[in-house]
Amino acid sequence: MAETPVASDEGREAATTAAEAQPLTPAASGFAVLLAALWGGNAVAIKAGLDDAPPLRLAWMRFVAGGIVTVAWALSTKQSLRPTRQELRPLGWLALLFTTQIAFMNVGQDHTTASHAVVINTTFPLWTGVFAHFFVPGDRLTPLRTAGTLVAYAGVVAIFAQSLGNAEGSLTGDALMLGSASLLGARQAYTSLAAQRVALPKMLLTQTVVGIAVFLTAGLLLEREPWVFTERLALSILYQGVVIAGFGFIGNMWLLKHYQPSGVTALSLTTPVWGVLLSNLVLDEPLGSTLFAGLLLVVLGSALAQWSSWRRGAVRTSVPVRPPEVGAAGAVAEVGAPDAPDAAPRGPREPEQRR
């Protein structure tokens, strides 16, 4: 059978099938932990920013900053930002999941405590594992991975056991945060599939453009609260936009493109640990006595969830995939990815018809 021509390098890379997603390697796991630490500070930045701006307005300002990083990354790597007709459908579903999840998160966090927001949002890997089990080829919920995830989540619950009884938390805010966590889990699994057909810059730019349009419009129509541009708000926007919506999203999508999503999200269970530490440093929130016990459970559970993946990865991985390199401007470039021109093949290549 004659091979169907692919129009560009971008198309050839995006044509990698979901079945080729690898278990996490130790290097990729380290990069995932770094992203988890950065995400731990996101709740702190949002809570600080909400003191000076309402949630929907804060969301669109964040995406303006993130969009600048996304465009700079795409231009530096010479990747196209124009979607094809075939890419419009997956991009549309991704934008719908994304904007709904962010709206639930920002509004929910405005109606509950930071501790509630962090612990409830941390349930998203459990949702990702469920969605990936049914929709991502080869990413199954094995007994070992399930047990490790539950052990790690027990550590999360232990860390926030005292704060969960805090009367400041609201039922409505908690319910919105739970909805955000489930939508984030669905988005992680869907991103892993969509990234096989759509280039990462297009996905990020779609999220940015749609996010700005939706939240700017909704903020003008629905929010009447006054806001003031302070140094605290500026730092909050820069962290959410440049660090999270820019570098964080790029790094996370890179991981989800090359590695199984349940493995990536299992390590994100360390996020609340980093969040607690950053809350103490930035917001002067006290450290509970259960932190150290919870930290031990999270680390042990994450290691247990990844143990079988690391063993399989050592056997299956013939061409290592390195985390992206970070340039001087914070842009991320893919290096050493499968099918990259500079990646020397170490075994027989797959038939072209499988792409």
pTM, two decimal places: 0.63
Write down the pLDDT at residue 104: 92
What's residue 75's pLDDT? 83
DSSP per residue, 111-150: TS-HHHHHHHHTTHHHHHHHHHHHHSTT----HHHHHHHH
Give residue-wise pLDDT tens across range 107-143: 888 887 776 777 777 777 777 777 777 777 777 777 8
pLDDT in tens, 15-69: 444 445 678 888 888 999 899 889 888 888 988 898 899 989 998 998 888 888 8
Instruction: Output the pLDDT for position 12.
Output: 44
Task: Determine the residue type at 317.
Answer: T
State how far the Cα of 351 lies from the Cα of 110, in Å rounded to an integer.
52
- Average pLDDT of the chain is 74
What pLDDT is recorded for position 143? 81
Question: CA nearest 200: which of 262, 260, 255?
Answer: 255
Is-contact 223 301, C-beta < 8 A?
no
The pLDDT assigned to 342 comes to: 41
Contact 240, 62 (CB under 8 A): yes
CA distance 290 to 88: 47
Q: Which residue has the tokens 């994450």?
A: 302
Task: Give the whole-angstrom CA distance, residue 82 versus residue 309.
Answer: 36
Residue type, 227: W
Helix (H), strand (E) at residue 260: none
Q: Tens of pLDDT along the chain (355 residues)?
A: 444 444 444 444 444 444 456 788 888 889 998 998 898 888 889 888 988 999 899 989 988 888 888 788 778 877 777 888 888 888 988 889 999 998 999 888 888 777 677 777 777 777 777 777 777 777 777 788 788 778 877 877 776 665 555 555 567 787 888 889 889 888 878 887 787 788 777 888 888 888 899 999 988 898 888 888 899 999 999 998 889 877 887 888 788 778 877 677 677 777 877 887 888 888 777 676 766 777 678 778 777 766 655 555 544 544 444 444 444 333 444 334 344 344 444 444 444 444 3
For CA atoms 33, 280, 149, 242, the dihedral sign is negative
Report the distance separating Cα 293 and Cα 151, nearest Å. 12
What is the residue extent of each domain of the chain? 31-316
